């Protein structure tokens, strides 16, 4: 049954059933074979290419594009995946406009970079659609490694270790592996169950056992893992969220919870959404929540950010994406209280200004009526084992991913360094695996 877009409150089915599929379709549709050849032809095969330098996982971009241009997208995929086993997902979710494509010399020349992200997707899709897993395991070793967290960092680490011949057990707190790829990113960035398929494809390497619904601290300790395995990699991401500390905070929902529910919904028409949605925050999570609420049929969806718009952590591309999907962005307003009134919620904000680099709160207040309020004001490290050094709310690691504890490595969002991107997590998992391997083999 369809309810109207204008029905007050938080209700499911605001759109006709057949519209959900269209609303959540691929935000950047894949290139056709012809379009891929045209796009690949634009690459100049730069020396010491800036795109590769800009890539956190050091993918040899000019080489893989040349391989597409010469008719071997599958070989291109191997070039990509040998550096970044999540090359398929990164092709979909990477902020390419600030990484490879932002560095492309054709961005400088014409303001139109080579479509590296779409080309990467073209190549990896070709290989993965065939079910081909191009990597194999080295001769088995006697070592086993525990990986905590089945997100991009943990699985990239596990895959590389399995390739080296080690046995890997991945412990994950959720019911499905994939981490934020499965539970976090916006649905329209990886439709068609891609996150799930990619993990299944990755596990084809063999030698990796995934234990689901197993949380560090709840189901076992770091000591337990160290006893059972020869090394441990921690890649459990950020389990907690920052909470609002204002009157009425209990009326707000963490955006990450809502996004996870959306990602796992069998039928999006059953997911309730407010007529008027307010998202407090200014990062990618805020954009993902606000845009998806709009796509689910919210009449209005508003992002309210406490600082100025140029200071928003969400990239310009993400901001554009939000605004072209009808999301209103209100900068310079910090939440003061959420009031429950007849007919819904009212979120009260104080206007802010930035003076001398510092945010000051002004006397002026504005109020937004809302049916649903989300918070997207940052995620936090959950409970961590004792003995780890925590710096800036993250597990401190060195360049090889080593923590202060012997035989314990960490990477991804839970660890220092990186920008909390899938691509960074994947690269950190890979590099930690190389270091663990060197350690185990006594190098």
Partner 1 sequence: MANLASEFLGIKSPNPFWLASAPPTDKEYNVRRAYEAGWGGVVWKTLGMDGPPVVNVSGPRYGAIHGPDRTLLGLNNIELITDRPLEVNLREIKSVKRDYPDRALVVSLMVPCDEESWKFILGQVEDTGADGVELNFGCPHGMAERGMGAAVGQVPEYIEMVTRWVKQHSRMPCIVKLTPNITDIRKPAEAALRGGADAVSLINTINSITSVDLDLFAPEPTIDGMGTHGGYCGPAVKPIALNMVAEIARNPATRDLPISGIGGVTTWRDAAEFMALGASNVQVCTAVMTYGFRIVEEMIAGLSTFMDQKGFTSTSELVGLAVPKVTDWQYLNLNYTTKAVIAQEDCIKCGRCHVVCEDTSHQAIAMAEDRTVTVKEEDCVACNLCVDVCPTNCITMKEIAVGEMDARTGRPVGTPLNWTEHPNNPTGSGAACAKAPAE
Q: Which residues bind partner 1 (CB under 8 A)?
A: 37-38, 41-42, 44-50, 105-106, 108-109
Taking the least distance from each CB to partner 1, the nearer of 71 and 193 is: 71
The radius of gyration of the chain's CA atoms, rounded to the nearest angstrom, is 23
In whole angstroms, the minimum distance from the beta carbon of 320 to partner 1 comes to: 24
Nearer to partner 1, 37 or 307 (CB): 37
Contact present, 245 and 209 (Cβ < 8 Å): no
CB of 67 vs partner 1, minimal distance in Å: 16
Query: Among residues 109 and 390, whose Cβ is nearest to partner 1?
Result: 109
Cross-sheet strand order for the sheet of 276-281 = 252-254, 372-376, 276-281, 300-304, 327-330
**Contacts (Cβ under 8 Å, ≥6 apart) of 67:** 73, 75, 76, 79, 123
Nearest to 274 by CA among 369, 378, 376, 341: 369
Which of these, 304, 271, 268, lies nearest to 287 by C-alpha position? 304
Pick 69 or 329: Cβ nearer partner 1: 69
Minimum distance of partner 1 from residue 69's CB (angstroms):
8
Give the SS3 label for residue 243: coil
Nearest in space to 417 (alpha carbons), one of 399, 434, 431, 433: 399
- Please report how the helices 152-163 and 194-202 are oriented relative to each other, as an axis angle in degrees rounded to 10: 20
Tokens of 150: 């089945």
Contact 288, 185 (CB under 8 A): yes
In SS3 terms, 107-154 reads as: HHHHCCCCCHHHHHHHHHHHHHHCCCCCCCCCCCCCCEEEEECCCHHH
CA distance 100 to 50: 7
Nearer to partner 1, 109 or 175 (CB): 109
Q: How far is the CB of 34 from partner 1 (least distance, A)?
A: 9
Q: Smallest distance, Å, CB 64 to partner 1?
A: 17
Closest to partner 1 by CB, 17 vs 38, is 38
Residues 6+ apart with CB under 8 A from 134: 74, 77, 78, 81, 127
Contact between 196 and 404 under an 8 Å Cβ cutoff? The reply is no
Minimum CB separation of residue 71 from partner 1 in Å reads 10
Q: Considering the complex, state which of residue 50 and residue 272 has its C-beta at the smaller distance from partner 1.
A: 50
Query: Minimal distance in Å, beta carbon 421 to partner 1?
Result: 24
Query: Which CB, 31 or 322, lies closer to partner 1?
Result: 31
Q: Give buried/exposed letters for 308-333 (b at 16+ CB in 10 A, else e).
A: eeeebbbbeebbebbeebebebebbb
Alpha-carbon gap, residue 405 to 388, rounded angstroms: 7
Least distance CB 311 / partner 1 (angstroms): 27
Q: Give the whole-angstrom CA distance, residue 16 versus residue 221.
A: 48
Residue 49: CB minimum distance to partner 1, A: 8
**Which is closer to partner 1, CB of 69 or CB of 388?**
69
């Amino acid at each position: 049954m369809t309810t109207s877009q204008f029905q007050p409150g938080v209700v499911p089915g605001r759109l006709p059933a057949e519209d959900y599929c269209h609303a959540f379709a691929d935000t950047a549709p894949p290139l056709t074979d012809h379009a891929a050849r045209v796009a690949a032809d634009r690459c100049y095969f730069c020396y010491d290419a800036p795109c590769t330098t800009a890539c956190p996982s050091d993918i040899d971009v000019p080489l893989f594009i040349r391989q597409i241009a010469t008719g071997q997208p599958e070989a291109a995929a191997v070039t990509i995946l040998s550096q970044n086993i999540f090359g398929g997902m990164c092709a979909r979710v990477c902020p390419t406009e600030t990484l490879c494509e932002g560095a492309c010399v054709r961005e400088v020349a014409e303001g139109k970079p080579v479509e590296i992200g779409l080309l990467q997707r073209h190549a990896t899709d070709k290989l993965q659609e065939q079910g081909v897993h191009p990597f194999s395991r080295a001769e088995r070793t006697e070592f086993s490694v525990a990986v905590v967290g089945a997100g991009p960092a943990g699985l990239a680490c596990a895959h590389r270790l399995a390739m080296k011949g080690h046995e890997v057990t991945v412990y994950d707190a959720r019911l499905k592996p994939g981490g934020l790829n499965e539970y976090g990113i916006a649905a329209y960035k990886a439709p068609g169950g891609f996150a799930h398929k990619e993990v299944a494809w990755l596990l084809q390497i063999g030698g990796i056992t995934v234990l689901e619904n197993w949380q560090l601290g709840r189901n076992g300790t770091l000591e337990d893992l160290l006893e059972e395995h020869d090394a441990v990699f921690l890649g459990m991401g950020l389990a907690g969220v920052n909470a609002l500390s204002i009157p009425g905070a209990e009326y707000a929902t963490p955006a990450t919870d809502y996004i996870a529910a959306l990602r796992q919904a069998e039928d999006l028409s059953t997911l309730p959404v407010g007529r008027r949605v307010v998202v407090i925050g200014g990062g990618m999570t805020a954009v993902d929540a606000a845009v998806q609420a709009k796509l689910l049929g919210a009449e209005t969806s508003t992002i309210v950010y406490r600082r100025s718009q140029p200071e928003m952590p969400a990239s310009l591309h993400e901001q554009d994406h939000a605004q072209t999907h009808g999301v209103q962005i209100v900068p310079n307003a910090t939440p003061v209280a959420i009031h429950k009134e007849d007919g819904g919620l009212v979120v009260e904000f104080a206007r802010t200004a930035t003076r001398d680099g510092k945010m000051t709160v002004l006397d002026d207040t504005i109020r937004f009526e809302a049916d649903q309020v989300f918070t997207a004001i940052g995620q936090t490290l959950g409970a961590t084992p004792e003995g780890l050094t925590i710096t800036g709310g993250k597990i401190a690691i060195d360049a090889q991913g080593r923590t202060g504890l012997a035989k314990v490595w960490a990477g991804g969002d839970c660890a220092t360094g990186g920008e909390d991107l899938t691509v960074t997590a994947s690269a950190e998992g890979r590099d930690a695996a190389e270091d663990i391997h060197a350690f185990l083999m006594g190098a």
